[in-house]
């Protein structure tokens, strides 16, 4: 819908430029030009300043009613090459930051964010903490140890030799904060785990 309205506005602007060019060739005064444009186009009419500026251009010999090519930086950041480069960098390291990607590709951080979220459909979520991850052999060993304890526990004197305590002091150093463990994942990807 917005594209249609934009095209209509561009078409109306072109029409008004043609009217101004016609007024220049017909020798109409400034008041007559503005009255004609306001009457014909109403709220979509050009402002008086733009009408005067266009009139001066056509009076000085300009023939083309289209806008001149504008100088400035072309929008080349969200091209397929950069999208593929961002995909590759995210595949190599899912914990990389947008700023690191922007610096390595020499494009803006906001553009990288749009590529990651809109073009690649990724989101960044924090890892879920899991105390430890056991392999299948380790799990099987635990089952065997527990079964052995049950067999030993059938002897009554075994339970008399058990000493219990009420406090345990464990020190652990975890250098990665929750935010540092965040990863870029796809829309339907499972939440990453932090051991």
Question: Mapped to the 3 state alphabet, what secondary structure does 16-57 carry?
Answer: HHHHHHHHHHHCCCHHHHHHHHHHHHHHHCCCHHHHHHHHHH
Alpha helices in the chain (DSSP H): 2-26, 30-41, 48-59, 80-92, 98-105, 109-114, 136-152, 156-160
Considering the domain boundaries, does residue 163 fall inside one? no
pLDDT, residue 88, reads: 94
pLDDT, residue 101, reads: 92
Q: How far apart are CA 78 and CA 88, in angstroms?
A: 15
Do 55 and 47 form a contact (C-beta atoms < 8 A)? no
Q: Into how many domains does the chain fold?
A: 2
Domain residues for 6?
Answer: 2-59
Considering the domain boundaries, does residue 8 fall inside one? yes
Q: Pick the residue with more confidence: 45 or 167?
A: 45
Name the token pair of 27. 């020798």
Question: CATH number for the domain including 19?
Answer: 1.10.10
Interval 95-133: pLDDT, tens: 888 999 999 988 989 999 999 998 898 888 877 766 677
Considering the domain boundaries, does residue 9 fall inside one? yes
Residue 92 has pLDDT above 80, yes or no: yes
pLDDT, residue 144, reads: 93
Q: 92-101 in b/e burial notation, b at 16+ Cβ within 10 A?
A: eeeeeebeeb
Considering the domain boundaries, does residue 160 fall inside one? no
Q: Which of 34, 59, 84 is the last residue of a domain?
A: 59
Considering the domain boundaries, does residue 99 fall inside one? yes
Same domain, 189 and 107: yes
Considering the domain boundaries, does residue 66 fall inside one? no
Considering the domain boundaries, does residue 19 fall inside one? yes
pLDDT, residue 70, reads: 67
> What is the mean predicted confidence (pLDDT) over 74-89?
84
pLDDT, residue 74, reads: 58
Same domain, 78 and 49: no
Do 95 and 125 form a contact (C-beta atoms < 8 A)? no
Integer CA distances (angstroms), 10 to 6, 13, 63, 67, in order? 6, 5, 18, 10
Residue 79 has pLDDT above 70, yes or no: yes
Interval 144-194: pLDDT, tens: 988 988 888 787 777 777 777 666 666 665 555 666 677 777 777 777 666
pLDDT, residue 84, reads: 93
Residues 6+ apart with CB under 8 A from 59: 24
Same domain, 24 and 98: no
Residue 28 has pLDDT above 60, yes or no: yes
Most confident of 7-21, 23-37, 96-110: 96-110
């Amino acid at each position: 819908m917005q594209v249609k309205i934009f095209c209509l506005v561009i078409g109306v602007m072109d029409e008004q430029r043609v009217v101004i060019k016609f007024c220049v060739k017909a020798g109409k005064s400034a008041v007559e030009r503005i009255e004609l444009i306001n009457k014909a186009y109403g709220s979509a009419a050009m402002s008086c300043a733009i009408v005067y500026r266009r009139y001066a251009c056509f009076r000085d010999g300009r023939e083309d009613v289209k806008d001149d090519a504008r100088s400035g930086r072309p929008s080349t950041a969200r091209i397929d090459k950069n999208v593929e480069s961002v995909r590759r960098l995210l595949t190599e390291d899912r914990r990389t930051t947008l700023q690191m990607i922007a610096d390595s590709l020499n494009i803006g951080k906001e553009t990288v964010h749009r590529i990651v979220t809109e073009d690649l459909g990724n989101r960044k979520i924090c890892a879920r903490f899991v105390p430890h991850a056991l392999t299948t052999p380790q799990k099987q060993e635990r089952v065997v140890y527990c079964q052995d304890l049950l067999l030993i526990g059938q002897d009554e004197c075994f339970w008399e030799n058990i000493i219990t305590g009420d406090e345990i002091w464990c020190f652990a150093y975890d250098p990665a904060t929750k935010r540092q463990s965040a990863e870029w994942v796809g829309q339907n990807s499972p939440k990453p785990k932090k051991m």
